[in-house]
Chain A
Amino acid sequence: MNRAAATRRTTLIAVAVITLLVAAPLALGPYAVTTMTRMLAFAVLVLGVDLLTGITGLPTLGQAAYFGAGAYTAVLVGLHITSDAMAQALAGTAVGLIAAAATGWVAVRARGIVFLMLTLAIGESLHQVAATWPAVGASNGLAGMPPITLFGGPPLLPAGFVYWWVLAAAITVFAAVTLITRSPYGRTLRGVRDNESRMRALGYRPALARYSVFCLAGAIAGAGGALWAAQGRFVSPGDLGFEVAALALLSVVIGGAGSLWGPCLGAALVLLVRDNLSASIGGHGPLVLGLVFVAVVFLLPRGVAGIRHRRESRS
């Protein structure tokens, strides 16, 4: 297949998927729409994890912390400053970026499994801070955020309107991440993933690339958190816990590290199991997800790294 035809096909699929997503609230009930809104917000977090894990080869268990930072920021902005969703999302993104920049330098000195370990330690530390700091409600979290507004309009109460806002934001992030992976910067990140010492010999500073992408992923996670809060209008320490970080990594792994749409589907699936199927299997969603983790490791040929080689698309 030549490139023009491939591009045309990709465009067609993208248009079809976006149309379906936009039309969804017209056909579905509010519960399903709420569920999809949460999936979209979670998918944004997963895109950031994919940028780190799939594109740059840095497996992370700390992104939930920046997701949480964005969610807390959005709720605080909503409670005290403005109900404007755009302002909340931008504030969440900025705080996610700042939090990642302030803590990430510890992690990016390492790579591989030690990086995983350090991100987990950072993420859990921030989780514990959220769970004990009275200023953000400690273990109770923050509730009572007013409904979001857009462009000074009335409060967006119906689930469908919140969904459309989150969908628009998620598509923007998806497009931005797609552009990043195809840009020279994306090429630099793949170079760091494949062969860091060779990058150094070519005159690159791999640590700079790792740090910058860590900050970027933090900003994306912060945006995801703000969107998450726009739907739930509530945030608790559980939103930045170990489990959220683990599920985000799982989404990337089952969706195929390096691909972008795969992890988004993975995010939807993982959240569906945790929040929705959970009720029908006696509330044991985490049990199922734990088993999925184990199964994924054993069933994927050549392990997790194998997916990357199999699915990475060539242009």
Chain B
Amino acid sequence: MAAYLVSVLNGLAMGSLLFAIALGLSLVFGMMDVLNLAHGAIYLAGAYLAVALLPGDDVGMGTFVLAVLAAAAVGAILGGVLAGLTRATPGHLDQALLTLGVSLVVAELLSVAFGEEVHAIAAPAPFDGGVPVLGETYPAYRLLVIGFGAVLAVAVYLLIERSRFGSLIRATVADRAMVSALGINTGLVLTGVFAAGAALAAAGGVLAGPILGAQPGLDEKVLLLALVVVVIGGLGSVRGALLGAVLIGQVQALGTSLLPEYASFLIFVAMALVLLLRPAGLLPPRTAVRT
């Protein structure tokens, strides 16, 4: 029972991180059909920023929050640049190739700067211990991450479903041409979402640091998980990204605890199953009627 609970909690922590990372990928794709293959590299940039800013084992909460904010800023800048580059490129394949090139460059620069070894990142001081959960000791930091995920989900829900900016985003996903025909500067909205999504991915890199660390190749793993989350949830859907993230978090945690060798195989099976039953994903976004 306790072991099962630990797995569920691990899955929720992973799901929280995946939601933060996949959200930007999903919205950018839903709004402008851009597949941002540099998303994993942006995440990795955030993780290495944590390595640079948080040396040693003794990290205060203030420093940690600062690192998260700094990563978000760096992510936003990278996202803004990518938005500018992709908007200057015709054709979706070209845009994907462009982000692919950027991801190779960023990942290589990072491994030049930080080497090939695995870096561990310490959890901030008040959360670096364990708390008793049903007689087992569970890392407090992961509970913090779950809390962050819950707060993020509520905040994003309010922003997307309740605010004017959110309705603009939803309308752009549904029918981009119509929104720009109404005289709204979709370019600005798109750049904003691109930057915000990248900021979340980079911040996710810092937040995931104490759990996953930082090492070359992590960008691919994270990009894969985020892609699967987006595909399972439905391209461009916020609620889908949340559901997909929670689901993949659980599959990943369960797989790691039961069949560690086949965990990644389980991820593929989950994706194939969802696509077999619901080709458009679990919660596809509402689109305008097209005739």
Contact = CB atoms under 8 A, between A and B. Distances in A.
Question: In the complex, are there CB atoms of A and B closer than 8 Å?
Answer: yes
Interface residues of A, number: 48
A241 B268 CA distance: 16
B228 interface: yes
Contact of B100 (A134, A284, A293, A305): A293
Contact of A109 (B90, B92, B260, B275): B275
Contacts of A128: 221, 224, 263-264, 267
Nearest to B217: A241
B97 A293 contact: yes
A291 B105 contact: yes
Interface in B8-38: 29, 33, 35, 37
Contacts of A112: 92-93
Contacts of A296: 97, 101
Contacts of B94: 297, 303-305
A180 interface: no
B35 to A, nearest CB: 5
Contacts of B112: 284, 287
B107 A286 contact: yes
B77 interface: no
Given A59-B96, A106-B275, A297-B94, A290 B108 contact: yes
Interface residue SS majority, chain B: helix
A133 interface: yes
B97 A129 contact: no
A296 B100 CA distance: 12
Contact of B231 (A59, A117, A132, A292): A117
A289 interface: yes
A304 B37 CA distance: 17
Interface range on chain B (Cβ under 8 Å from partner): 35 or more
B91 A303 contact: yes
Contacts of A277: none
A122 interface: yes
Interface in B210-225: 217, 220-221, 223-224
B152 interface: no
Interface string A183-226: 00000000000000000000000000000000000000000000
A284 B105 CA distance: 9
A305 B105 contact: no
Contacts of A84: none
B105 A113 contact: no
11 contacts: A106-B276, A112-B93, A117-B231, A125-B228, A132-B260, A242-B223, A249-B100, A287-B109, A293-B97, A293-B101, A304-B91
Given A120-B223, A290-B103, 17 more contacts: A106-B275, A117-B29, A117-B35, A121-B228, A124-B223, A124-B227, A125-B267, A132-B261, A241-B217, A241-B220, A286-B107, A287-B108, A287-B109, A293-B102, A294-B105, A297-B94, A304-B91
Interface of A: 59, 61, 103, 106, 109, 112-114, 116-118, 120-122, 124-129, 131-134, 138, 241-243, 246, 249-250, 253, 284, 286-287, 289-294, 296-298, 302-305
Interface of B: 29, 33, 35, 37, 85, 88-98, 100-109, 112, 217, 220-221, 223-224, 227-228, 230-231, 235, 260-265, 267-268, 271-272, 275-276, 279
